[in-house]
Amino acid sequence: MSFLLFLRGFVAVLVAFAVASYAITQSAWITFIQTLICAVIIQVGYFIAILFMVWRSGEARNRGETLARSENTAVSAKDIPAKGETAQLPGVGRSPLP
């Protein structure tokens, strides 16, 4: 999620929260404090979400590197195409066309 998209949503949520809070409490000071607390909670949640996405991308990268290493070591003589043949990509089936 881009920061600008987050910022727009963040401001919209805080304005809606402030309006609802003021309608319920009829106090500008309590509304300000509650909106400030809401802003901190949203920021903490956003920070945790970003940490999780970074952790998950690093884990996926490590899995990809492990898979690539295992595929590179599993190459045998039959996997190497003969002269005039083309190599088949792993996971891609042959074309039914001649």
Residue 19 lies in a domain: yes
Residue 25 lies in a domain: yes
Task: Count the domains in the chain.
Answer: 1
Residue 74 lies in a domain: no
pLDDT, tens digit, 9 for 90 and up, residues 15-62: 999 999 999 999 999 999 999 999 999 999 989 998 999 988 887 777
Residue 95 lies in a domain: no
Residue 83 lies in a domain: no
Q: Where are the alpha helices (DSSP H) in the chain?
A: 3-25, 28-73
Task: Quote the pTM value.
Answer: 0.56
Residue-number span of the structural domain to which 51 is assigned: 3-61
Which of 16, 13, 82 lies closest to 46 in space, CA to CA? 13
Residue 75 lies in a domain: no
pLDDT, tens digit, 9 for 90 and up, residues 58-71: 877 776 666 666 65
- Band the pLDDT of 6: cuts 50, 70, 90: confident
